[in-house]
Structure 1
């Protein structure tokens, strides 16, 4: 059960994060900062965000399981609608210039941390992590899986940003994430 929960959580968060603003922020930051600094700053921000999400979700575990199931199903359907209707990012949220290219490693880590930390508050993946923690009562598995999924997306974004120096088209990924949320939401509602 724990391995299945780990894999399903990882897959859901990974797909949901791919077209997200924080993935594009990491991609854009990697075009003008050292890639390791960008990954380090983003990874640290995601650890804190996942801890907050799991702790928040654990509070919901005190509610009756049927209520959690129904609430989680509805939330995932709302996430699906939000993801489906989400407008494409213009890429103007993260700017870079010559000074940023010359910034020290620690400054790059700090600026990436702050960008990702602020952008991730109330994000769909953070809310999904909280919902999963509440539903499955397995905070360590959910925390580890969600955090690793966020790190994996960040690594991809940093590599693409550093190597390609351009933004990926996000429509297809956004639709896949919306569909994944809808399937999970319907599955949760059908079970109860």
Structure 2
């Protein structure tokens, strides 16, 4: 178990996902359904998507090291640019467009509705791309899987428990900038490794 990769992955994914549509969609779903059912559904979706990202990142680790590091560097820089642009736009989506896909449901239907909404919304998401990059960079798929899934589950837990309160104290655009700074730091570390 690579503790450094686990902690770094958790921190990076947590900071990137907090201002993301994931948080907002989960928050809105939790206003429609029992919060624990929403959390179970979105956590299951995250488990599937994190598994796919880790497998793709692990497959990438078989490529030449210089190529992998270059692609990882570009992905971190792209992530920083995306987060800066989102932060500058100051768009605070309500998340309703994701939750509207789910109709009134209870019990396991609420879990399934939450799963499907987040499963559809998260493909190609920044956190998935970062997970692929971190697996390729650290070659520690289990550690990255645990860190990424834990971060996603904590963010969704915050959304269902204290989402509206949190948004009163911290602006989404500030969180975008913090996420961009994390991506730039990871890009800088990757660049240093690349030029060595």
TM-score, normalised with respect to structure 2: 0.88
| Alignment partner of 2:137 out of 106, 110, 135 | 135
Moved over 3 A (4+): 163-169
Match of 1:13 in 2: 13
Offset at 1:90? Answer: 2.3
Q: Which residue of 1 aligns with 2:151?
A: 149
**Residue pair 1:76, 1:182 contacting (<8 A) in 2 also:** yes
- Give a deviation string over 1:70-103, Cα, whole Å, max 9, x none: 221111001100111124242131456xx73xx3
Aligned residue for 1:19, secondary structure, equals coil
- The correspondence for 1:93, drawn from 82, 97, 100, is 97
Partner residue in 1 for 2:184: 182
On the 8 A contact 1:18/1:153 being kept in 2, the answer is: yes
Q: Which stretches in structure 1 are left out of the alignment for 5+ residues?
A: none
Shift of 1:164: 4.8
What is the TM-score normalised by the length of structure 1?
0.90
Give the number of aligned pairs. 187
In structure 2, C-alpha distance between the alignment counterparts of 1:95 and 1:116, rounded to whole Å: 9
Q: Contact 1:35/1:159 (CA < 8 Å) preserved in 2?
A: yes
Alpha-carbon distance in 2 for matches of 1:175, 1:4: 23
State whether residues 80 and 181 of structure 1, in contact with CA within 8 Å, keep that contact through their aligned partners in structure 2. yes
Find the counterpart in structure 1 of residue 34 from structure 2: 34
Contact kept? 1:37, 1:106, Cα under 8 Å = yes
Counterpart of 2:63?
A: 63
Structure 2: state its 5+ residue gaps: none
1:107 Cα deviation after fit? 1.4
- The reply on whether 1:121 has 2:109 as its aligned counterpart is no
Distance 2:144 2:24 in 1: 24
* Aligned-pair Cα RMSD in Å: 2.0
